[in-house]
Amino acid sequence: MVERVAERLRALEDREAIRDLIARYGPLADRGDAAGVAALFAQDAVYAVGGMGEAHGREAIAALIEGPVHRALIADGCAHVLTSPAIDLAGDRATARCHSVVFRKEGEGWQAVRVSANRWELARAGKGWQVTRRDNRLLDGSDAAQALLGNSAP
Amino acid sequence: MVERVAERLRALEDREAIRDLIARYGPLADRGDAAGVAALFAQDAVYAVGGMGEAHGREAIAALIEGPVHRALIADGCAHVLTSPAIDLAGDRATARCHSVVFRKEGEGWQAVRVSANRWELARAGKGWQVTRRDNRLLDGSDAAQALLGNSAP
Amino acid sequence: MVERVAERLRALEDREAIRDLIARYGPLADRGDAAGVAALFAQDAVYAVGGMGEAHGREAIAALIEGPVHRALIADGCAHVLTSPAIDLAGDRATARCHSVVFRKEGEGWQAVRVSANRWELARAGKGWQVTRRDNRLLDGSDAAQALLGNSAP
């Protein structure tokens, strides 16, 4: 009974930790905190950004945040809005799916300049979790983004 | 004490399951997975879609996803973005409230073509939960949508 | 062991309660429920709204919801969309960070008329939690909003 309680608690804590990890991405990206964004990912993680190629490893991920495209977005005013993910736990691995919307200030209001499907692969790392792969694809009617939203296990 | 722990765990798991169920709607809708969307609902569930009538039962709900309006949305590029719900648990029943925003690709960006209030009624079903009724109403200044957002118990 | 379980359960319940509290803000604001919005805050809470000054105390917060700017927004059709927060718990205090987007009906669709960074300070109050301070700042390229998104402890 006590073991079963510990197991149920851990599953809830794992889901909470994964949700929290994903919730931290947007605020870190909006303030251009490259080291903070990179620290969400494993050392050799892959971040595939729809329409912008793949970053391999923490340094390349940090470089995305420090690059001119991201800097221009921050200077204009932007929000990286992520939804609460659907999470599939499998022991020390997990997959999560959510949407992301990037709003950019234009004139009096904000425009949704990127609306994407996201699939995250995560792994337990010490007491917490890390992203081992994030795929982000624009929801522009192509099949690629829809494929990301499927229910395949990690 | 042990009974009280089990009860607290179950309440947390119920809330987690309900949040997860609602988080799965958007990705399933965006990829046109009619069977997947229908499986979130009870066999005799009602889905009342603001401005588009009511679907009664899983087959009618699946037909919405397979219909020409939804297919055209997917072909253009769309995202069904749902917020993390406020949940009121009451034993084997629950009510949840959240927003939904449908983004549609238009030109270079995405437009918010539907912004709605949502009220979900849910029931425990085996080890999980199912939606027994979803009301979706456009937040267009009419009183109907605001009524959905009230705090009435299930 | 039993004490440790109780502690872990309480941390999960605290995070759940804080997430739920923040999820209730949008639906209450959209329906103009001034008393409901005010009740989320402590009696002497501060709500600093980017570009619109600071409200001190529940009565002033309720007055924001009852005021002409908010009433006009509701009449046009609006949604106060908040993302699931990143939460830092520290005993009986907590800090949470999230985005908020205010959509307003304009013509056929909805426009994002406010996109903001939000930092919430919260305190345990009886069995639940209350907001003691909310800072909301427009993500318009200014440094102020970015500062809110940092990781400082409460």
| Nearest residue of C to residue B100, measured between CA atoms | C81
Residue among C117, C104, C141 at smallest CA distance from A106: C141
Span C15-33, average pLDDT: 97
Residue given tokens 């009121």 in the structure block: B88
pLDDT tier at B154 (50, 70, 90 boundaries)? Answer: very low
Of C97, C115, C142, the CB nearest to A79: C115
| pLDDT value, residue A154 | 38
Q: How many residues does chain B have?
A: 154
Tell me whether residues A77 and C140 touch, CB distance under 8 A: yes
| pLDDT value, residue B147 | 85
Q: What backbone phi and psi angles, to 5 degrees, belong to B132? A: -100, -20
| pLDDT value, residue B76 | 97
| pLDDT value, residue B50 | 87
| pLDDT value, residue A153 | 41
A99 to chain B: which residues are within 8 Å by CB?
26-27, 79, 81
pLDDT tens for each residue of C45-91: 999 998 889 999 999 999 999 999 999 999 999 999 999 999 999 99
Of B27, B82, B84, the CB nearest to A97: B27
Identify whether the C-beta of residue B98 lies closer than 8 Å to the C-beta of residue B84: yes
Span B97-120, average pLDDT: 97
> From the candidates A4, A99, A136, which should be mutated to test the interface with B, based on the most B CB atoms within 10 A?
A99
Q: What backbone phi and psi angles, to 5 degrees, belong to A143? A: -70, -25
**DSSP for B98-110, written as a single string:** EEEEEEEEETTEE
For chain B, the average pLDDT equals 94
Tell me whether residues C30 and B117 touch, CB distance under 8 A: yes
Tell me whether residues A146 and B108 touch, CB distance under 8 A: no
B107 to chain A: which residues are within 8 Å by CB?
none
- Residue C95: pLDDT above 70? yes
- Residue C97: pLDDT above 80? yes
pLDDT tier at B3 (50, 70, 90 boundaries)? Answer: confident
Q: What residues 75-134 of chain B have any CB closer than 8 A to a CB of chain C?
A: 83-87, 97-99, 101, 111-113, 115-117
| pLDDT value, residue C151 | 65
B8 to chain A: which residues are within 8 Å by CB?
none
A76 to chain B: which residues are within 8 Å by CB?
none
- Residue C153: pLDDT above 60? no
- Residue C15: pLDDT above 80? yes
Provide the b/e sequence for C65-85 (b: ≥16 CB within 10 Å): beeeebeebbeebbbbbbbbb
pLDDT by 10s per residue, chain A, length 154: 777 899 999 999 999 999 999 999 999 999 999 999 999 999 999 999 988 899 999 999 999 999 999 999 999 999 999 999 999 999 999 999 999 999 999 999 999 999 999 999 999 999 899 999 999 999 999 988 888 888 654 3
* SS3 of B13-51: HHHHHHHHHHHHHHHHHHCCCHHHHHHCEEEEEEEEECC
| Contacts of residue C41, Cβ cutoff 8 Å, sequence gap at least 6 | C47, C58, C61, C130, C131, C132, C134
Which three-class secondary structure state does DSSP give residue C150? coil
| pLDDT value, residue A150 | 80
**Hey, CA dihedral for C28, C33, C34, C35, is it positive or negative?**
negative
| pLDDT value, residue B152 | 53
| pLDDT value, residue C154 | 37
pLDDT tier at C143 (50, 70, 90 boundaries)? Answer: confident
> From the candidates C7, C83, C87, which should be mutated to test the interface with A, based on the most A CB atoms within 10 A?
C83
| pLDDT value, residue A92 | 97
CA distance B24 to chain A (A): 6
Tell me whether residues B26 and A99 touch, CB distance under 8 A: yes
| pLDDT value, residue B97 | 97
The pair of three-digit structure tokens given for residue A70, joined into one six-digit string: 């991201």
| pLDDT value, residue C145 | 87
Chains that touch B (3 or more CB pairs under 8 A): A, C
Span B35-43, average pLDDT: 97
Tell me whether residues B83 and C82 touch, CB distance under 8 A: yes
Chains that touch A (3 or more CB pairs under 8 A): B, C
CA distance B15 to chain A (A): 11
pLDDT tier at B29 (50, 70, 90 boundaries)? Answer: very high
CA distance C82 to chain B (A): 7
Q: What residues 17-36 of chain B have any CB closer than 8 A to a CB of chain A?
A: 19-20, 23-24, 26-28, 30-33, 36
The pair of three-digit structure tokens given for residue A16, joined into one six-digit string: 């909470």
pLDDT tens for each residue of C34-45: 999 999 999 999
